Amino acid sequence: MQNVLAMILAGGQGDRLSILSEQRAKPAVVFGGHYRIIDFALSNVANSGIDKVAVLTQYRPRSLVNHIGSGRSWGFDNLDNFVQILQPYLGRADMDWYSGTADAVYQNLYVIEESRAREVLILAGDHIYLTSYRNMIAYHRSQGADATVAVYSVPREEAHRFGVLDLDQTGRVIDFQEKPPNPRAPWVSMGVYVFNKDVLVEQLQADADEGDGSKHDFGRNIIPRMYQTHRVFGYQYQDYWRDVGTVESYWQANMDLLSPNPSLHLEDPDLRLRTAGSIQAPARFGPNAVICSSMVSPEARVYGEVTRSVISPGVVVEEGAIVRDSVIQHRCIIRSGAVVDRCILDKEVTVGSGAVVGEGNENIPNRERPDIVNAGITIVGKRVSVPAGLHVGRNVVIGPGVAEELMEVGHLESGASIHPTTMPLHLFV
């Protein structure tokens, strides 16, 4: 695959993930205990034998850049295989903050030209799936396509959240609708595109020339315009794929890992999922620990009860503590007697003794953001200390760094939000 350049779009803010992506780019959010979301795109590229990769960042890139480093963990750290991290910058008349996915690529056209690639593979950096792109690229070439869109079949009642494509019997795109209220077809765009290089450059230039008349987005502008005048095909992807753009979809994708027969195998020897970091110490379990249908990462210590949950490295669940249906990120501490139920805890959260986080049977949406926190999942931000004995309901959002604000609170009812009065500087690392 030396004739292919991969460009990973990893600059989105990810507002619908609430506080999980408030201080980091969405692709840098922890997934599956040990990994970051960006690991899937990088590993898929490595598994495809593609040796040139560009990662386009923008929103709060520090955590993401630190994680990728030189690309060594994915084999991109030599003269033949390399990764470039591209950030927008000011200083030239033709450079500005990215205004859309197509604009992000357009502002880096020089990378495409210098690569001498035959095709350019455009990837979203915030999706969960393991694959090799070899078959898709081979399909693109066999069809004589100008562009190929990876498509996935979803129930029609869910298709309105995506770009929806209609295909003829040969697989050619004959209609494209961006997030239609009444989808006519079940095929949705995965945000994965293969373009012939010259066609891509031509289309990006035409889109840039439209100025404010375009959103400069592949899904809203480039593909809808192209399929009417060019050979655009849909590549039907059949394996596991999830867009984790919402709190509920992120939580559900983590829960999918706990199925007795998961569709996504993180230990697949043919499609390796790689991540940064050295080998860690093994997890430890106490004599009275109970672990059921869960994934426990290295360096975790479990002395209490963990059921159907994903436990990240360094987490401590003390004896008498209960964790159910939850995603617990790095170095959290669940004290004795505490209960964490159907929650997402960001890094280094401490839940005090006897506290209950995720209490009640009612599903009252979060009053501040009912559009994104409405599935009964409570979210606790980075380095929050939940006081001993505090009871927290469903769909509650506790912002990063909250501490003193909780000391006078005896109960946080379902749907509540609480944020720090000032944002501590240490939360930006």
Residue 117 lies in a domain: yes
- Residue carrying the six token digits 């396509």: 145
Q: Is 248 in the same domain as 320?
A: no
* pLDDT tens digits for range 342-352: 999 999 999 99
**Dist. CA 404–CA 420, nearest whole Å:** 8
Q: Specify whether the CB–CB gap between 226 and 257 falls below 8 A.
A: no
Domain count, the chain: 2
Q: Is 307 in the same domain as 233?
A: no
Q: How confident is the model at residue 277 (pLDDT cuts 50, 70, 90)?
A: confident
The whole-number average pLDDT for the span 11-18 is 81
Residue 48 lies in a domain: yes
* pLDDT tens digits for range 287-308: 999 999 999 999 999 999 999 9
pLDDT mean across residues, the chain: 91
Owning domain of residue 12:
4-256
Q: Is 212 in the same domain as 353?
A: no
Q: Is 70 in the same domain as 108?
A: yes
Residue 278 lies in a domain: no
Give percent of the chain with pLDDT exceeding 90: 74
The total number of residues shown for the chain amounts to 429
Residue 332 has pLDDT above 90, yes or no: yes
Q: How confident is the model at residue 424 (pLDDT cuts 50, 70, 90)?
A: very low
Q: Is 247 in the same domain as 306?
A: no
State the distance between the two ends of the chain, measured CA to CA, in whole angstroms: 36
Residue 194 has pLDDT above 80, yes or no: yes
Q: Specify whether the CB–CB gap between 142 and 171 falls below 8 A.
A: no
Range from 148-162, 356-370, 380-394 carrying the lowest mean pLDDT: 148-162
Residue 113 lies in a domain: yes
Q: Is 205 in the same domain as 299?
A: no
Q: Is 308 in the same domain as 245?
A: no
Residue 219 lies in a domain: yes
**Dist. CA 101–CA 95, nearest whole Å:** 15
Each residue of 252-271: b (16+ CB within 10 Å) or e? Answer: ebbbebbeeeeebebeeeeb
* pLDDT tens digits for range 44-67: 999 999 999 999 998 888 899 999
Residue 347's nearest CA partner among 384, 377, 305 is 384
Helix, strand, coil percentages for the chain (3-state, nearest 5): 25, 25, 50
Residue 104 lies in a domain: yes
**Dist. CA 328–CA 326, nearest whole Å:** 6
Q: Is 175 in the same domain as 132?
A: yes
pTM listed for this prediction: 0.88
Range from 70-84, 192-206, 353-367 carrying the lowest mean pLDDT: 70-84
Residue 239's nearest CA partner among 392, 399, 130 is 130
Domain with 327 in it: what CATH number? 2.160.10.10
Point out which residues pair with 53 in neighbouring strands. Answer: 6, 83
Give all strands (DSSP E) within 126-278, no chain letters. Answer: 127-128, 147-153, 163-167, 173-178, 187-196, 232-236, 242-243
Residue 276 lies in a domain: no
Domain with 133 in it: what CATH number? 3.90.550.10
* pLDDT tens digits for range 102-138: 999 999 999 998 888 999 999 999 999 999 999 999 9
Q: Is 293 in the same domain as 227?
A: no
* pLDDT tens digits for range 149-159: 999 998 888 88
Point out which residues pair with 232 in neighbouring strands. Answer: 147
**Dist. CA 358–CA 386, nearest whole Å:** 12
Instruction: List the structure tokens of 70.
Output: 């030189």
Q: Specify whether the CB–CB gap between 234 and 128 falls below 8 A.
A: no
Residue 166 lies in a domain: yes
Beta-carbon count within 10 A of 335 CB: 20
SS3 345: strand
Q: Is 214 in the same domain as 291?
A: no
Give percent of the chain with pLDDT exceeding 70: 96
Q: Is 291 in the same domain as 359?
A: yes
Q: Specify whether the CB–CB gap between 380 and 398 falls below 8 A.
A: yes
Q: Is 325 in the same domain as 397?
A: yes
Residue 425 has pLDDT above 50, yes or no: no
**Dist. CA 178–CA 220, nearest whole Å:** 6
**Dist. CA 338–CA 102, nearest whole Å:** 47
